[in-house]
Amino acid sequence: MAGIEDVARAAGVSTATVSRALRGLPNVSDATRRRVLAEATRLGYVPTPSASSLATGRTRTIGLLTPWVSRWFFANVIEGAERALRDVGYDVLLHTFVVRRDEPRRRVDPDVLRHRVDGTLVVGLPLDDDEVRSLVGLDRPLAFVGSGPDDQVTVRLDDVATGYAATRHLLDLGHRVVGHVTGVPDLVSSWSPPAERSLGYVRALAEAGVDVDRELEANGDFDVEGGRASTAELLRRRPDVTAVFAASDEMAMGALLAARDLGLRVPEDLSVVGVDGHDLGEVAGLTTVAQDAYQQGADAALLLLEMVNGAPVPQRLTYPTELVRRRSTGPPRAS
């Protein structure tokens, strides 16, 4: 409840000096600063954010845009980013965008962010060019995690390499008819991870001299039920499939369910590999190409802060992945 004026009065200085002293600005004598600090503490003074925002234009808040919080990748990125930001006294404003199969999602509206954040972190949300432009138009730092336009600061995997690694693992085991459960049906942007993972898949097949067939790919919408349904569909179309590469662990878990539904043993009848390194992957015995989502969130947040502070930052941080072999993959049955 104490205002800056109370502190000023108590310390016998002006409000300007209090402001300077408390924010660690120069041009305040040590003695004065100590006195101000002491009085501020004693009175329990805390600056009113809206007042200082109004005066400075800064909010010490970062906007976090994401389609979900309850999925592995997103939850971990958010957690990593929030903690990194909190550590330096920044708040996180959470904005989710419902993304559904059929209906188009609500568009990203820069007006909701304007004057409300010092920067924006877009987590795994595919934006069209207009949306990106509108965020750029906020004239505040902008960074992407998981995927992002080529000309924006982005923290992500090498998704082509990731898809390649997963597929290659299956090929190395001897599989020759490999299905692919991918992420999204229609891409609003050209920089989508599922598209690139799919490219890696195709590349690995081609390199191995294996036929690539559109019938071997199906959309699993990045969730368990989608993975289950599309794997079932895949197996209906091509009963000779012996392995499936799913573009996320959650879809891969769906693939495991589909196998069980159909009475197929894993990995004897069907091998499954995912992407993520989901916490529960071990329980399911899921082979996966693992990534560190938490750290990507934290690093992206730090990058964004650098930008907020006007420091130069690398345009792109590419994270490593690691193949984790578990029970869900093995050599195909001898046919």
Residue ranges in contact with DNA by CB under 7 A: 3-5, 12-17, 19-20, 22-23, 26-29, 31-33, 45-48, 51-52, 54-56
Q: How many CA atoms lie within 13 A of 286 on its CB side?
A: 30
Among a copy of itself, DNA, none, partner that 311 touches (CB below 5 to 8 angstroms by kind): none
Q: Which of 83, 176, 237, 238 binds a copy of itself (CB under 8 A)?
A: 83
Q: Which of 240, 282, 315, 320 binds a copy of itself (CB under 8 A)?
A: 282
Among DNA, a copy of itself, none, partner that 26 touches (CB below 5 to 8 angstroms by kind): DNA
C-alpha 252/C-alpha 288 separation (Å) is 9
297 neighbors 79 (Cβ within 8 angstroms): yes
Q: Which of 2, 9, 43, 53 binds a copy of itself (CB under 8 A)?
A: 53
Among DNA, a copy of itself, none, partner that 335 touches (CB below 5 to 8 angstroms by kind): none
Residue 3 tokens, joined: 């205002």
Buried b (16+ CB within 10 A) or exposed e, 247-281: bbbbbbbbbbbbbeeeebebbeebbbbbbbbbeeb
CA 285 to the chain's CA centroid: 24
β-sheet bridge partners, residue 181 = 218, 246
What is the per-residue binding string for a copy of itself in 291-320, x denoting contact by CB under 8 A?
---x--------------------------
C-alpha 326/C-alpha 113 separation (Å) is 44
Among a copy of itself, DNA, none, partner that 280 touches (CB below 5 to 8 angstroms by kind): a copy of itself
278 neighbors 117 (Cβ within 8 angstroms): no
Residue 82 contacts a copy of itself per CB under 8 A? yes
C-beta closer to a copy of itself: residue 174 or 285: 285
In this structure, how many other beta carbons lie within 10 angstroms of the beta carbon of residue 12?
A: 11
Q: Is 220 exposed, middle or buried (0-12, 13-18, 19+ CB in 10 A)?
A: buried
Q: Which of 16, 25, 38, 54 binds a copy of itself (CB under 8 A)?
A: 54
Residue 100 contacts a copy of itself per CB under 8 A? no
- Where in 200-229 is the site for a copy of itself (CB under 8 A)? 224
Residue 138 contacts a copy of itself per CB under 8 A? no
CB of 57 to DNA, least distance (A): 7
C-alpha 179/C-alpha 310 separation (Å) is 46
The torsion of the CA quartet 216, 223, 299, 60, rounded to 10 degrees, works out to 140
Chain residues binding a copy of itself by CB under 8 A are 44, 46, 48-51, 53-54, 59, 61, 64, 68-72, 75-76, 78-79, 82-83, 86, 91-96, 98, 111-112, 114-116, 224, 250, 253, 256-257, 279-280, 282-284, 294
